[in-house]
């Protein structure tokens, strides 16, 4: 079952009807049963695997809760920089008691290591099956459960939160399982924290007309992005990169640009569908995008793109690594020989490198994704290392850093860097590059041959119009971040509101990509 299938919307309508028909006390159990049913309809294997992994994390939380005393908390994204050096340490210096027994802090660390090895190891094994599938065929890839890249990170974060005392361990296994397997977010996220999402899911919500309508708005907007724009762009990119030797270098370059846009519309569309479905039940998921193509640097881009993944790696990898004994030792060593500035830079680059290597491997296994992670590390780390020199160079060249033209240049540059990153992650990226160098044929962009590459003139007009509309929407959001377009639409009179809704529904029905070969299950980030 996919978010785009008719069967799913029938399922969703039944869940909504039952949810609001039952008393408040019973409503969380409706959400729990519907989340299990959603995975069951996809595959019994997916359901059993997910429940088993949840059981491991739940048991880990319960056992760690018993060892709660004498553990120091680890800084999170809101912590002050000077707090980092104390993170991740056990506050009790005595590890073995006088009787020879292992102390509580030591037992907690052993338990944490065991359960993290179980969760991280399971995810790593599932990822490795994709590498082995290249050599043994596609049968190994069948054992990869859907959504494991998402709920496994949520489970890892929960275990760490319990260990550091940020949250109390969940005593109710059904309540905990609902948090990890909430069906709008289980396939592609966004990542949520147990402390925020579980409370929303476990307390039944009364029907609120405004929230329900806003949820429907988001679902419709997400369907427009996915079915009208993303899937139409995929008609071109799939054909071009499926047989690169048949197309010119400029057609491949256009395909790379469109491939970046396709990922944005596909992924952000899915996020809006997930957020909209959750709002139907009064549940708010964290935002995962904030006009990413308006970013003026690589670091800013990743604060706007897949926001919850970046926050997860920052809180559960970057800060804990910064607080490890070996990282502090390296920092002290550099400080003695190179001074404070070099020491601080080293303390930033080491955990940053680990974060981006792991981020690359999370997106996909193999050399391309490892290079992709190192590529973003070099961009973000390089901007920190040479940031001062770049500002001095701009001043020397009399560049007005506040000029609109300079900001536009930086946005275009960031989009180009993102597109290069997408090219690096391709399995046939080297072959594409060689083809782009050898066979340019600029005229193929203007001889109407592009209309034969999965597209016709009608498709080109639809994509161009959609990009223009999306640009206008993002511009408005960027200039008025405190305002909501959904509130503005909701404040319009009834006739205007329904004209907008009817136009959007007609666009999905008339302009959406359908057909015999259309696969409704193909969301890009479901592959990660």
Does residue 286 fall inside a structural domain? Answer: no
Which of 353, 387, 421 terminates a domain? The answer is 421
Could you tell me the sign of the dihedral formed by the alpha carbons of 200, 205, 209, 215, in that order?
A: positive
Find, among 90, 91, 84, 89, the residue nearest to 343 by Cα.
84
Q: Is the pLDDT of residue 94 over 60?
A: no
Note the pLDDT of residue 189: 83
Please give the structure tokens belonging to residue 411: 């946005």
- Location of structure tokens 């998921």: 285
**Same domain assignment for residues 76 and 184:** yes
Confidence of residue 185 (pLDDT cuts 50, 70, 90): very high
Residue-wise DSSP of 4-48: TSHHHHHHHHHHHHHHHHS-GGGHHHHHHHHHHHHHHHH-HHHHH
Cis? peptide before 190, omega within 30° of 0 = yes
Q: 335, exposed or middle or buried, with CB in 10 Å at 0-12, 13-18, 19+? A: middle
Most confident of 101-105, 113-117, 200-204: 113-117
Q: Is the pLDDT of residue 214 over 70?
A: yes
Confidence of residue 72 (pLDDT cuts 50, 70, 90): very low
Average pLDDT score over residue span 356-371: 89
Which residue would you say has higher pLDDT here, 228 or 528?
228
Confidence of residue 85 (pLDDT cuts 50, 70, 90): very low
**Same domain assignment for residues 222 and 172:** no
Does residue 1 fall inside a structural domain? Answer: no
**Same domain assignment for residues 436 and 417:** no
How are the residues of the chain apportioned to helix, strand and coil, as percentages rounded to the nearest 5? 75, 0, 25
401 close to 319: Cβ distance less than 8 angstroms: no
Does residue 485 fall inside a structural domain? Answer: yes
Q: What DSSP character marks residue 315?
A: I
Residue 329's contacts (CB-CB under 8 Å, 6 or more residues apart) are none
**Same domain assignment for residues 231 and 201:** no
Calculate the alpha carbon distances from 50 to 140, 148, 468, 504, 507 in Å.
18, 7, 41, 36, 36
Confidence of residue 521 (pLDDT cuts 50, 70, 90): very low
Does residue 474 fall inside a structural domain? Answer: yes
pTM equals 0.88
**Same domain assignment for residues 107 and 175:** yes
Question: Which residues pair with residue 102 across a beta bridge?
Answer: 96
- Cα–Cα distance, 521 to 381 (Å, whole number): 36
Which residue would you say has higher pLDDT here, 357 or 128?
357
Note the pLDDT of residue 84: 35
**Same domain assignment for residues 436 and 392:** no
Note the pLDDT of residue 470: 94
Let me know how long the chain is.
Answer: 528
- Cα–Cα distance, 21 to 330 (Å, whole number): 60
Q: Which of 127-131, 240-244, 349-353 has the lowest mean pLDDT?
A: 127-131
Calculate the alpha carbon distances from 482 to 26, 360, 364, 488 in Å.
36, 33, 36, 12
- Cα–Cα distance, 151 to 148 (Å, whole number): 5
Which of 421, 453, 476 terminates a domain? The answer is 421
Does residue 287 fall inside a structural domain? Answer: no
Does residue 288 fall inside a structural domain? Answer: no
Note the pLDDT of residue 76: 55
**Same domain assignment for residues 414 and 438:** no
Q: Is the pLDDT of residue 208 over 50?
A: yes
**Same domain assignment for residues 186 and 307:** no
Domain that holds residue 238: 211-280+425-528
Note the pLDDT of residue 415: 97
**Same domain assignment for residues 297 and 314:** yes
Q: Is 289 helix (H, G, I), strand (E, B) or coil?
A: strand
- Cα–Cα distance, 19 to 30 (Å, whole number): 6
Does residue 85 fall inside a structural domain? Answer: yes
Q: Is the pLDDT of residue 324 over 60?
A: yes
* pLDDT 10s digits, 378-406: 999 998 888 888 888 888 888 888 888 99
Does residue 285 fall inside a structural domain? Answer: no
Q: Angle 482-195-360 (CA atoms, 0-180°, nearest 5)?
A: 80
Average pLDDT score over residue span 479-489: 87
Q: Which of 281-290, 309-318, 481-490 has the lowest mean pLDDT?
A: 481-490
Q: Is 188 helix (H, G, I), strand (E, B) or coil?
A: coil
Note the pLDDT of residue 98: 45
Tally of domains within the chain? 3
Q: At what angle do helices 429-438 and 249-280 cross, to 10 degrees?
A: 140
**Same domain assignment for residues 276 and 380:** no
Confidence of residue 518 (pLDDT cuts 50, 70, 90): low
**Same domain assignment for residues 408 and 450:** no
514 close to 228: Cβ distance less than 8 angstroms: no
- Cα–Cα distance, 448 to 359 (Å, whole number): 40
Q: Is the pLDDT of residue 481 over 90?
A: no
**Same domain assignment for residues 200 and 168:** yes
Q: Angle 7-12-13 (CA atoms, 0-180°, nearest 5)?
A: 100
- Cα–Cα distance, 188 to 198 (Å, whole number): 18
Which of 205, 238, 258 terminates a domain? The answer is 205
């Amino acid at each position: 079952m996919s978010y785009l299938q008719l069967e799913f919307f029938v399922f969703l309508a039944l869940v909504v009807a039952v949810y609001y028909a039952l008393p408040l006390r019973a409503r969380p159990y409706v959400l729990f049963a519907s989340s299990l049913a959603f995975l069951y309809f996809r595959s019994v294997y997916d359901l059993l695997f997910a429940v088993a992994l949840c059981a491991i994390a739940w048991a880990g939380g319960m056992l760690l809760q018993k060892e709660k005393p004498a553990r120091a908390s680890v800084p999170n994204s809101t912590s002050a920089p000077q707090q980092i050096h104390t993170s991740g340490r056990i506050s009790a210096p005595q590890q073995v008691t006088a009787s020879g027994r292992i102390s509580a802090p030591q037992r907690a660390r052993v338990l944490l290591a065991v359960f993290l090895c179980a969760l991280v190891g399971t995810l790593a094994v599932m990822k490795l099956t994709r590498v082995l599938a290249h050599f043994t065929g596609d049968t190994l890839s069948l054992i990869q459960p859907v959504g494991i890249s998402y709920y496994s990170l949520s489970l890892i974060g929960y275990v760490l939160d319990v260990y550091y005392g940020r949250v109390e361990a969940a005593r109710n296994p059904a309540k905990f399982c609902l948090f990890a397997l909430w069906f709008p977010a289980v396939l592609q996220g966004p990542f949520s924290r147990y402390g925020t999402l579980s409370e929303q899911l476990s307390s039944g919500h009364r029907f609120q007309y405004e929230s329900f309508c806003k949820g429907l708005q988001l679902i419709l907007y997400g369907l427009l992005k996915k079915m009208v724009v993303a899937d139409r762009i995929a008609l071109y990119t799939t054909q071009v990169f499926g047989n690169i030797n048949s197309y010119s270098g400029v057609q491949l370059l256009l395909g790379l640009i469109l491939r970046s846009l396709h990922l944005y519309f596909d992924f952000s569309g899915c996020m809006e569908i997930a957020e909209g479905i959750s709002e139907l039940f009064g549940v708010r998921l964290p935002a995962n995008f904030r006009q990413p193509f308006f970013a003026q640097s690589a670091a800013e881009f990743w604060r706007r793109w897949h926001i919850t993944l970046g926050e997860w790696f920052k809180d559960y990898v970057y800060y804990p690594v910064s607080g490890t004994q070996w990282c502090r030792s390296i920092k002290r060593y550099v400080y003695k020989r190179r001074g404070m500035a070099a020491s601080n830079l080293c303390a930033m680059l080491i955990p940053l490198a680990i974060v981006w290597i792991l981020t690359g491997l999370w997106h996909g296994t193999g050399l391309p994704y490892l290079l992709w992670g190192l590529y973003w590390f070099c961009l973000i780390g390089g901007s920190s290392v040479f940031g001062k020199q770049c500002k001095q160079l701009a001043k020397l060249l009399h560049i007005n850093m506040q000029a609109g033209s300079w900001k536009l240049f930086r946005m275009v540059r960031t989009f180009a860097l993102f597109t290069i990153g997408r090219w690096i992650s391709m399995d046939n990226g080297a072959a594409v590059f060689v083809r782009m160098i050898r066979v340019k044929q600029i005229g193929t962009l203007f001889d109407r041959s592009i209309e034969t590459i999965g597209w016709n003139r009608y498709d080109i007009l639809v994509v161009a119009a959609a990009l223009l509309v999306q640009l206008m929407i993002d511009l408005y959001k960027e200039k008025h971040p405190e305002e909501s377009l959904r509130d503005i639409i909701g404040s319009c009179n009834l006739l205007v509101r329904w004209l907008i809704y009817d136009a959007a529904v007609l666009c999905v029905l008339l302009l959406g990509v359908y057909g015999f070969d259309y696969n409704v299950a193909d969301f890009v980030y479901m592959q990660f």
